[in-house]
């Protein structure tokens, strides 16, 4: 990456290099001189002048100029030569372009969706699902060994409640057409009236017949593992975790319940591990023990270096207790277990919030959404907003096939690039004329292209997946500006005998191909298709 090259040039004096927002101030800037001056007690402007002279002497080809601004900021303007070389690099790397070694081969799991098997996936599951899938793609691109995991909460109180709901007794809570379907199916399947058995059978059916088909066929997400809470409990792992807490004197009994001294480990209050419901210890256990056992397995047995859990907004209060468990077990901390909270989604149709589903009667399923809008649009719209912000999903805009729809606008640019490259009879794009790519719009487009590795690394660092759709739009706008300002290929008769024109034509076609490569790589990270015709 160019940014990394500048960081290396600044060396120990570096204070981080960032891209400028206004091209008048160069392509990148650094406050390295300010940092150096503060540490040494020297004048910041003098330090900036010293560093500028040293960089210009040692790296004459990287920058067209370096300017000193303000109290001592260094503004770097990239040279045409380095941009032209980066264009060659993109074409050489192809689909690998954008890869970095940021992750250094560390093993990471992204656990997402993990919806309780008590009903079909909903609109909110879609937001977390597409986010987790894209984040895993980015981490892999950034050099991590990445796995996608789904934790199935198929044991405990919610499964028993599902059983009551299917039986239709006084403790029923879940509603919807799927409950009616289960009730009809299970009438002939078994005679048990035990809500635990009915709930377990129903949960298995929901997972296999409703949730997994939506994930695999509709969302096009492939998980590496589905881990069952029921199996974790059957293995005895939660009891082992409880014993480990006891050995560290982090357990006490009060009011007939078993408590975890999580306040000693940063939590705001102690947490119940087993309630006072003595007649059924399994039903009395809270989620914390099996969750702690599962995460202990991730770090101690599966040897993950990093785990990213993607949770819904209603789980925010659960973070502190799980992190406390990690400290108690000496298995993980906030640097190893990262938790991303996805905020709520409202579905907007015809300018109004959609509160009711036609078929379920009380919630909008993800299947219903994906029947009305394309998968690519769903992915784009969910990824475009930061996880911590509430979002309105505009169904009418998502369905629209016009430049107003950002995914359509971006995909149309890819189709246009494909059309340009199909029409030309020049198949081997020569870069012999690359030095002729010096028009401001050509250089601006290359500057956008070389951002992809930076986008990947920054997103791997802070999980800001919303950068991807924004970057795709920035890239497409730069391409359209280039296409308006620079004729990509003239009529062949005009260039016969004019080798300079031929070389420039070939170089511009190479720039189009590089743009298509980078845009396709960006779409792949988002899980969005790249249509060659529209």
Whether residue 328 contacts residue 248, with contact meaning beta carbons closer than 8 Å, is answered with yes
The answer to which of 103-107, 133-137, 397-401, 467-471 has the lowest mean pLDDT is: 397-401
Q: What is the pLDDT of residues 165-206, one digit of tens each?
A: 999 889 988 888 899 889 888 766 556 788 888 999 999 999
Residue 437 falls within a domain, yes or no? yes
Residue 430 belongs to domain with CATH number: 1.10.730.10
Which residues partner with 174 through β-bridges? none
List % helix, strand, coil for the chain (3-state, nearest 5): 55, 15, 30
Q: Is residue 238 part of a domain?
A: no
Reference 534, options 441, 417, 384; nearest CA is 417
User: Residues with Cβ < 8 Å from 126, sequence gap 6 or more?
Assistant: 219, 345, 366, 369, 378, 382
Residue 519 C-beta-side C-alpha neighbours within 13 Å: 31
pTM of the model: 0.92
The mean pLDDT value for 53-69 works out to 89
Domain boundary among 78, 95, 124: 78
d(C-alpha 319, C-alpha 266), whole Å: 11
What does the pLDDT read at residue 318?
Answer: 93
Which residues contact residue 498 at a Cβ distance below 8 angstroms, ignoring those fewer than 6 apart? none
Is position 312 within any domain? no
Percent of the chain beyond pLDDT 70?
92
418 found inside a domain: yes
Q: How far apart are CA 272 and CA 287, in angstroms?
A: 10
Query: What pLDDT digit, counting tens, does each position of 452-475 carry?
Result: 999 999 999 999 999 999 999 999
In a domain, 35, yes or no: yes
3-state SS track over 417-449? HHHHHHHCCCCCCCCCCHHHCCCHHHHHHHHHH
Which residue, among 453, 443, 489, 473, has the nearest Cα to 87 in the 3D structure? Answer: 443
pLDDT mean over 1-8: 88
Residue 314's pLDDT band, with cuts at 50, 70 and 90, is confident
- Single out the residue in 39, 59, 78 at which a domain terminates: 78
Q: How far apart are CA 229 and CA 325, in angstroms?
A: 17
Instruction: Specify the pLDDT at position 516.
Output: 97
Q: Would you state the pLDDT for residue 222?
A: 97
Rounded to 5 degrees, what are φ and ψ at 415?
-65, -35
Q: Which domain holds residue 74?
A: 2-78
Q: Is the Cβ–Cβ distance between 118 and 192 less than 8 Å?
A: no
pLDDT digits (tens, 9 = 90+) for 459-518: 999 999 999 999 999 999 999 999 999 988 654 444 444 555 778 888 999 999 999 999
CATH number at residue 8: 3.30.1360.70
Q: Is 380 a domain residue?
A: no
Q: Which of 299, 305, 364 is nearest to 325 (CA)?
A: 299
Q: What is the pLDDT of residues 73-84, one digit of tens each?
A: 999 999 999 999
- Burial class from Cβ neighbours inside 10 Å (0-12, 13-18, 19+) for residue 451 reads buried
State the total domains in the chain: 2
Residue 278: the pLDDT is 55
In the chain the first and final C-alpha atoms are separated, in Å, by: 33
330 C-beta neighbours (distance < 10 Å), count: 12
pLDDT in tens, 247-303: 999 999 998 899 999 999 999 999 999 987 655 555 677 889 999 999 999 999 999
* 355 or 521, higher pLDDT: 521
pLDDT in tens, 365-423: 899 999 999 999 999 999 999 999 999 999 999 999 899 999 999 999 999 999 998 88
Residue 155 CB contacts under 8 Å (≥ 6 apart), including other chains: 228, 229, 230, 233, 282, 290
pLDDT at 15 over 80: no
Bridge-based pairing state of the strands 391-394 and 345-349: parallel
Query: How large is the C-alpha radius of gyration of the chain?
Result: 28
Q: What are phi and psi of 151, to 5 degrees?
A: -100, 120
- Residue 139 forms part of a structural domain: no
Residues 298 and 236: their CA atoms lie apart, in Å, by 16
The CA distance from 354 to 391, in Å, is 13
Could you identify the residue written with the tokens 């914390």?
A: 288
- How far is Cα of residue 306 from the mean position of the Cα atoms in its chain? 15
CA dihedral 368, 408, 347, 391 (to 10 degrees): 140
Question: Which of 50, 78, 106 lies at the terminal end of a domain, its last residue?
Answer: 78
Residue-wise pLDDT tens digits, 424-444: 766 666 677 788 899 999 999
**What is the structure's pLDDT at 152?**
96
* Coil vs helix vs strand at 342: strand
Q: Is 387 exposed, middle or buried (0-12, 13-18, 19+ CB in 10 A)?
A: buried
**Confidence at residue 304, expressed as pLDDT on a 0 to 100 scale:** 98
Coil, strand or helix: which one is 311? strand
User: For 323-376, how does the pLDDT look when each residue is reduced to its tens digit (9 = 90+)?
Assistant: 999 999 999 999 999 999 999 999 998 888 887 543 444 678 899 999 999 999
The number of CA neighbours under 13 Å toward the Cβ of 80 is 10
Residue 12 lies in a domain: yes
Give Cα 336 to chain centroid, integer Å.
17
Structure tokens at 203: 């949960």
Return d(Cα 429, Cα 431) in angstroms, integer.
Answer: 6
């Amino acid at each position: 990456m160019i940014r990394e090259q500048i960081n290396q040039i600044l060396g120990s004096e570096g204070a981080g290099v960032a891209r400028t927002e206004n091209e008048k101030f160069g392509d990148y800037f650094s406050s390295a001189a300010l940092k150096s001056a503060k540490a040494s007690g020297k004048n910041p402007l003098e330090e900036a002048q010293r560093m500028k002279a040293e960089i210009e002497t040692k790296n004459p080809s990287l920058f067209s100029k370096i300017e000193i601004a303000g109290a001592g900021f260094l503004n770097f303007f990239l040279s045409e030569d380095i941009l032209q070389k980066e264009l060659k690099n993109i074409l050489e790397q192809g689909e690998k372009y954008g890869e970095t070694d940021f992750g250094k081969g560390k093993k990471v799991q992204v656990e997402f969706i993990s919806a309780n098997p008590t009903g079909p996936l909903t609109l909110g599951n879609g937001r977390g699902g597409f986010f987790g899938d894209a984040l895993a793609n980015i981490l892999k691109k950034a050099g991590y060994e990445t796995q996608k995991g789904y934790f199935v909460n198929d044991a405990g109180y919610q499964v028993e409640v599902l059983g009551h709901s299917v039986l239709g007794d006084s403790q029923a809570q879940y509603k919807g057409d799927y409950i009616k379907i289960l009730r009809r199916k299970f009438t002939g399947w078994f005679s048990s009236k035990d809500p635990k058995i009915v709930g377990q059978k129903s949960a298995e059916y929901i997972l296999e017949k409703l949730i997994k088909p939506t994930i695999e066929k509709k969302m096009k997400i492939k998980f590496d593992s589905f881990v069952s809470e029921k199996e974790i409990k059957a293995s005895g792992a939660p009891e082992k975790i409880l014993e480990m807490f006891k050995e560290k004197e982090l357990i006490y009994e009060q009011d007939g319940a078993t408590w975890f001294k999580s306040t000693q480990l940063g939590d705001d209050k102690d947490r119940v591990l087993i309630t006072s419901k003595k007649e059924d210890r399994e039903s009395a256990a809270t989620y914390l023990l099996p969750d702690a056992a599962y995460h202990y397995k991730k770090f101690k047995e599966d040897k993950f270096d990093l785990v990213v859990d993607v949770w819904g907004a209603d789980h925010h209060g659960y973070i502190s207790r799980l992190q406390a468990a990690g400290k108690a077990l000496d298995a993980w901390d906030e640097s190893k277990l990262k938790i991303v909270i996805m905020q709520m989604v409202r579905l907007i149709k015809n300018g109004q919030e959609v509160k009711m589903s036609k078929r379920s009667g009380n919630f909008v399923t993800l299947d219903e959404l994906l029947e009305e809008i394309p998968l690519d649009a769903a992915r784009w719209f969910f990824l475009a907003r930061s996880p911590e912000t509430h979002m309105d999903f505009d169904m009418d805009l998502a369905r629209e096939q016009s430049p107003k729809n950002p995914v359509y606008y971006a995909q149309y640019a890819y189709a246009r690039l494909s059309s340009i490259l199909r029409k030309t009879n020049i198949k081997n794009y020569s870069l012999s004329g690359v030095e002729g790519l010096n028009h401001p719009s050509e250089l601006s487009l290359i500057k956008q292209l070389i951002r992809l590795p930076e986008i990947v690394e920054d997103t791997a660092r802070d999980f800001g997946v919303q950068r991807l759709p924004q970057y795709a739009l920035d890239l497409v706008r730069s391409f359209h500006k280039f296409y308006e300002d620079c004729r990509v290929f003239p009529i062949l008769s005009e260039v016969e005998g004019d080798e300079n024109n031929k070389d420039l034509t070939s170089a511009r076609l190479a720039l189009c191909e590089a743009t298509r490569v980078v845009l396709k790589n960006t779409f792949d990270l988002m899980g969005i298709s790249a249509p060659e015709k529209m």
